[in-house]
Amino acid sequence: MKIKEVIVVEGRDDTAAIKRAVNADTIETGGSAINDEVIRRIRHAQEKRGVIVFTDPDFQGERIRKIISREVPGCKHAFITREESIKKGDLGVENADPDVIIRALSSVRTEVAETTGEITLDDLIAAGMVAGSDAADRRKRLGELLGIGYANAKQMQKRLNMFQISLAEFEQAVATLNEGRENA
């Protein structure tokens, strides 16, 4: 599988994992301290070919994702779960199986700068995503269903709107979650 866009990853091991799964070029951030030169290269890649941000599903990966989104708007994003990226206690894209990487790259979401704000905090509250003992787990499963990763409630609302997930798509995913709850 050939990927047209340049994939932004955190390090060399991530690049090796991507190349085991697909034919693609990468830019390595070198960790969470992204310097101006790396941002310049990402901006250039976005202008010429497009960019897919594919960082680890942890705090540092999210921090990198936010920096890139702020500095280079309009990027695509690929997500994997913590469970898909952990091996021997080590968390990262480099640990994901090639089929997981291919699925994530086949399900990228494109961020948009201007969001309609179609999904409100009230929608998240009504769906059980904000308060309650299982709210975090429900957001985790929602992020998996929609391919947008895990986030806290405020970031989940932002992410749903940033990736232009419609209210209908959100409601369908919530219905799927609720079916699983009823069948448990």
What is the DSSP secondary-structure string of 18-30? HHHHSB--EEE--
* Burial of 104 (C-beta count, 10 Å sphere; 0-12/13-18/19+): buried
Do the Cβ atoms of 164 and 112 come closer than 8 Å?
yes
pLDDT tens per residue, range 8-32: 999 999 999 999 999 999 999 987 7
pLDDT tens per residue, range 17-74: 999 999 999 999 987 778 999 999 999 999 999 999 999 999 999 899 999 999 998 9
Q: Where does the pLDDT of residue 96 fall: very low under 50, low under 70, confident under 90, or very high at 90 and above?
A: very high
Give the rounded percent of residues in the chain with a pLDDT score beyond 70: 95
Q: Which domains does the chain show, CATH number per domain?
A: 1-111 (3.40.1360.10), 114-184 (no CATH)
pLDDT tens per residue, range 146-162: 999 999 999 999 999 98
In this predicted structure, what is the pLDDT of residue 32? 76
